[in-house]
Structure 1
């Protein structure tokens, strides 16, 4: 048999770990060929490529982001060659296998749940006597056409699974992709919106085996690792051992991302990381979801927000680890006002990224089974995102989506950190109110339908602040000028604002700088270099002092920026115009 396992990934840099586990587990009895695509690849290109491989069996790894494309591919493949055996697996098809088999006649088998052993056993039967009744954890069509769903087999001892990383054909692309690592499977919690709640208990891989895998991947150029463990720090001793290993043996430029349950992380663990971890080595993803206690109770989510806040704050104060905090809009009994509070509670911690997502009614979850109880209306096809519920009408969903849009552009992308911090702290009742008002204005201006250069983002924020009659707009504009210029390596050709000095005024100030190099800490530039590589702009306050101690002193100053061609970042200083002349 010729066997192919494939997946349609969200991006090229993503690597499908599941199909590599299948390949590793099937060896040496079966040699599986792997091929991956992205959701941007034309369907006919994928179909043509797979057809030309002349496979007897093709297994597809199915998720909410690729299911619709996968269905189109397998239906066309089956029309072209009805002899190909189509096998589906993955979280999207594991929980309603009968429904999928009835819906997609082109599918021959669905593997439910953990797939390594089941897939190998299925291959043995396809090659042998076709006794599919003996294969645990599969759904198939009997000769009569009747669907049969076999119960799942016992969970695999994770210490017996071979490495999914050591295939020679993968080596050339390892440095170009994210490496996904599992050190455990399962989750100790029971959040009803999450598929991890379906599997009871946590099982671990051998930790020395995992360390060897990471060494191998680093040696072959992998820079970004994402740990797939649902709660990496559930075992403090296990987490500490891995943290110490990564601190001791990481290679320069490597980043490791973990999903952390923040309210169970002990302060001494954070103190250890703040002391020992190199800056940028670790990145934490923390699911907050909601700060509404009643909502969390309804979805069986245990969360101590006070302890969570303590953890996030300690990590942030350590300055070593970036944090990505997640929120879910649309959870039971969380209306618009409650979600506004949740957003502000979490934004108060100023995470490096705040991901605002919307509840997805995933197949197999308890909340999907309770959909009628909370009057959920949601998309029938993947990703099953909610449209409304009993307390959150679609109008409010639209409003929160407007918040999501500008939050991503103006906070998570860090294009103007100082400006946004000043705006949300001083000009609006709360951070949520700023993002909501700006998001609504953005939508009304139809900006969501067009692309945006960096200059456009500054111009549009400025236009919104004028529209909203923001107080002290000169201060904000000067802050925005600083943020804008600090984002450039080279002198921008045309800033987003009208220059505040004439050429004659600039020449006068440049002459003063030439005559007094001490103004630039001894850096000596001639007039040609000043005009070619610097920007000088009048501002209304001492930006250096504000950035140093938070004190905003209103006085006429000059913002001077030197874009040194040999440096990675520009030099920005504020100068007293009296001293310059």
Structure 2
């Protein structure tokens, strides 16, 4: 580095997958370097782009800052773009030193340095200490003394030991300052209270690091108070298994549950590690305070053994059902396509097992054969065919052909739009029962319909989704279409309020402002405070505009609320009769209730 140490301008760059994301890594590097008294000698700058930003626009912004050191965080979702960007940076800033770090470069650094001359250094593993030491090189610090550094020495590539591990996490300063909160307004803020994982799942890089290291509880409480004090919208813990040790995680959960704040906290947890005390406590947590991501991955025992993962499925299912019943915690469950020994039939069973828990979100992921992972080392054993470059996603193996995986890929897209959108909450269970009873078969057939019509190749508006669902159902269930359209209308009023009104649905009053047959009854109802107060607390008539904003009454030809509340296993029978339903949009989430006949007619 041919510059004086007191002249260093250091730019830390992240290319996030989405605009709403932020980079914990960059702020951890900055705060550690500044705590090492490097701040007085250097200027630290942070730039966060997304993978959707224009390459030349990013280059222009970087050039304007004229950095001498450019550190870039590398992951599977941005690696190819980073290599292109680094090459361009070197062309316009030839004296700039480009340093890569992160999981995507930590396990094959020599290959990258040999192949890409624009890259000057690679920091392997946890980078705080190494990056801080590297910044001292211009002042005479020897490169060979920088832990976990990979660099060139003449024609050779040299690696200083193995990827870094920082034994004492309490030696790391808090990554955030007040200005970060303003810069990250309405974005997800990431935080870690531990590093490492107690498990050895062979598809995950956490299996390479033995043991788990924790921040002290006092430190964690102080850190979290900072987020709460600044009214952060969401804090996402990146701990690989947050509930690895009860004496660490349980006090944190209790501390957060007792706060008066709007902040949502997201955790990756193992649901079978909760005991009765924890489960009882979780039922008392304020709604919206916690969000749990639970990695199931598979319910097939031979698959779990092959990836060295231990799941107590019965306990997981019971605990998830218990929490789901109370509805105060958002539950996000994960499955992985392409794991060993899981063919289409076995994956269908795993899918149906997890789907039966009715999580708020079910993510269908596809196996990535990450550099350094055990599953990648044994790729030949399972016949894996996968992408040569990041994200190294599976294309086929001994149990699933490429044709099957590509069909599951389309199913994933459809599933996200239909189930994970939360848009068809009440019509889906009834529709699945009418179809075959198997959730997997339903979504697989829906995906085939999607592909036949080329719908997987274009984006869709909300109204179009309702129409496609109706057209798919109509193909095999014409005799039930009137009832199904009522279900769709019911879902639309809950998911999209009165803002989205697909024209083909049987509205009391159409979008063309045709007369509402129940107009007089509705007007009479809203003007009678005594009647309305039986359904809306502290009601008093204000203006029609205010009522339309907060409420909607729709008369249905089928008693859908009774079916939902009294649903018998396997039943699809819905009583046909006129029912007036009051939809309320005044609270945190839409709600509905049936108006008694004597109160409406």
User: For the Cα contact (< 8 Å) 2:463–2:501, is it kept in 1?
Assistant: no
Deviation of 1:472 after TM superposition, in Å, equals 2.6
Q: 114-123 vs 547-556, which deviates more?
A: 547-556
User: For the Cα contact (< 8 Å) 2:493–2:583, is it kept in 1?
Assistant: no
1:9 aligned onto 2:16: yes
Determine the structure 2 residue equivalent to 1:452.
Answer: 460
Q: 47-56 vs 341-350, which deviates more?
A: 47-56
User: For the Cα contact (< 8 Å) 1:557–1:574, is it kept in 2?
Assistant: no
Spell out the pairing of 1:13-162 with structure 2 (5 A cutoff): 13-27=20-34, 28-30=37-39, 31=42, 32-125=44-137, 127-129=138-140, 131-142=142-153, 144-152=154-162, 155-162=166-173
Query: Quick one: structure 1 residues 77 and 546, their matched pair in 2 at CA, closer, same or farther if it must change by over 3 Å?
Result: same
Q: Deviations over 1:312-333 (max 9, x none)?
A: 1121123211110000000011
Deviation of 1:453 after TM superposition, in Å, equals 2.0
Determine the structure 1 residue equivalent to 2:302.
Answer: 294
Determine the structure 2 residue equivalent to 1:216.
Answer: 226
1:361 aligned onto 2:382: no
User: For the Cα contact (< 8 Å) 1:175–1:220, is it kept in 2?
Assistant: no
User: For the Cα contact (< 8 Å) 2:486–2:505, is it kept in 1?
Assistant: no
- Aligned partner (choices 263, 268, 279) of residue 270 of structure 1: 279
Deviation of 1:2 after TM superposition, in Å, equals 1.7
Q: Deviations over 1:501-528 (max 9, x none)?
A: 8999966533345566577667899999
User: For the Cα contact (< 8 Å) 1:174–1:217, is it kept in 2?
Assistant: no
Query: Quick one: structure 1 residues 22 and 511, their matched pair in 2 at CA, closer, same or farther if it must change by over 3 Å?
Result: closer
Q: 568-577 vs 280-289, which deviates more?
A: 568-577
Query: Quick one: structure 1 residues 114 and 250, their matched pair in 2 at CA, closer, same or farther if it must change by over 3 Å?
Result: farther
**CA distance in structure 2 between the aligned counterparts of 1:425 and 1:84, rounded to whole angstroms:** 62
User: For the Cα contact (< 8 Å) 2:470–2:485, is it kept in 1?
Assistant: yes
**CA distance in structure 2 between the aligned counterparts of 1:544 and 1:312, rounded to whole angstroms:** 25
Q: Deviations over 1:350-394 (max 9, x none)?
A: 111100010001111010111111111111111111100111001
Q: Deviations over 1:177-232 (max 9, x none)?
A: 21111100001110000011111000011221121111112222311011111111
Determine the structure 2 residue equivalent to 1:555.
Answer: 576
Spell out the pairing of 1:233-248 with structure 2 (5 A cutoff): 233-248=243-258
Spell out the pairing of 1:218-367 with structure 2 (5 A cutoff): 218-251=228-261, 253-275=262-284, 277-367=285-375
**CA distance in structure 2 between the aligned counterparts of 1:210 and 1:504, rounded to whole angstroms:** 57
1:373 aligned onto 2:394: no
**CA distance in structure 1 between the aligned counterparts of 2:19 and 2:513, rounded to whole angstroms:** 52
1:544 aligned onto 2:542: no
Q: Deviations over 1:292-340 (max 9, x none)?
A: 1001111111111111112211211232111100000000111111100
Determine the structure 1 residue equivalent to 2:196.
Answer: 186
**CA distance in structure 2 between the aligned counterparts of 1:567 and 1:205, rounded to whole angstroms:** 38
User: For the Cα contact (< 8 Å) 2:98–2:119, is it kept in 1?
Assistant: yes
Unaligned runs of 5+ in 1: none
Q: SS in structure 2 opposite 1:436?
A: helix
Deviation of 1:58 after TM superposition, in Å, equals 0.8
User: For the Cα contact (< 8 Å) 1:187–1:201, is it kept in 2?
Assistant: yes
User: For the Cα contact (< 8 Å) 1:323–1:353, is it kept in 2?
Assistant: yes
**CA distance in structure 1 between the aligned counterparts of 2:582 and 2:375, rounded to whole angstroms:** 54
Q: Report the TM-score when normalising by structure 2.
A: 0.89
Query: Quick one: structure 1 residues 506 and 238, their matched pair in 2 at CA, closer, same or farther if it must change by over 3 Å?
Result: same
Q: SS in structure 2 opposite 1:233?
A: helix
Deviation of 1:486 after TM superposition, in Å, equals 2.5
Q: SS in structure 2 opposite 1:362?
A: coil
Determine the structure 2 residue equivalent to 1:417.
Answer: 425
Deviation of 1:573 after TM superposition, in Å, equals 5.5
Deviation of 1:549 after TM superposition, in Å, equals 2.3
Query: Quick one: structure 1 residues 34 and 494, their matched pair in 2 at CA, closer, same or farther if it must change by over 3 Å?
Result: closer
Deviation of 1:99 after TM superposition, in Å, equals 1.1
User: For the Cα contact (< 8 Å) 1:458–1:496, is it kept in 2?
Assistant: no
**CA distance in structure 2 between the aligned counterparts of 1:464 and 1:163, rounded to whole angstroms:** 52
Deviation of 1:245 after TM superposition, in Å, equals 0.8
**CA distance in structure 2 between the aligned counterparts of 1:379 and 1:313, rounded to whole angstroms:** 37
**CA distance in structure 2 between the aligned counterparts of 1:513 and 1:498, rounded to whole angstroms:** 17
Deviation of 1:14 after TM superposition, in Å, equals 1.6
Q: 127-136 vs 318-327, which deviates more?
A: 127-136
> How many residues end up aligned between the 2 structures?
575
Query: Quick one: structure 1 residues 128 and 434, their matched pair in 2 at CA, closer, same or farther if it must change by over 3 Å?
Result: same
Q: Deviations over 1:14-72 (max 9, x none)?
A: 22111111111112224322221111211111111112212111111101111111111
**CA distance in structure 2 between the aligned counterparts of 1:569 and 1:129, rounded to whole angstroms:** 61
Unaligned runs of 5+ in 2: 1-7
**CA distance in structure 2 between the aligned counterparts of 1:504 and 1:179, rounded to whole angstroms:** 45
